[in-house]
Amino acid sequence: MGEIGYNASASTGVTLLTATEWRSVVVTGEALEKSKMAVGESQSYTATVEDSKVPAEALPPTFAVRLEADGVVLASVSFTPAIYDPATRKCAISFTAPSAILGKKTVRLAWDDQVP
């Protein structure tokens, strides 16, 4: 009798569900270095950013945000150590004013759904 061999294949499998705990992001203490600026001038936006868990937790360094002025993107960053301090939960984002934001604008953080 010869050797017995088995063909490569896979089983039919079983379902595995993983759960994602969705949390809101809470932004407080938003501030600009200067309330007025000229086109091409640089300045900094600061805020405290944390999740909605009680007690609140810091966000991961992969968390990505956009700094926007009424829909115009001023900066797109992740919460790396240069941008975000997880101990204090403070972020600081520098940007340069483009000509597209002439006039009075509201500067805010924006982000998409994220799973780190």
Is 5 a residue whose pLDDT tops 80? no
The answer to whether the CB of 60 falls within 8 A of the CB of 116 is yes
Determine the Cα–Cα distance for residues 44 and 32; give it in Å rounded to an integer.
6
Determine the Cα–Cα distance for residues 2 and 93; give it in Å rounded to an integer.
71
Spans of all domains in the chain: 25-101
Is 70 a residue whose pLDDT tops 80? yes
Q: For 93-97, 99-103, 108-112, which range has the lowest pLDDT when averaged over its residues?
A: 99-103
The answer to whether the CB of 63 falls within 8 A of the CB of 51 is no
Beta bridge partners of 27: 49
Burial class of residue 54 (count of CB atoms within 10 Å of its CB; 0-12, 13-18, 19+):
exposed
Is 97 a residue whose pLDDT tops 90? no
How does strand 64-69 pair with strand 107-110? antiparallel
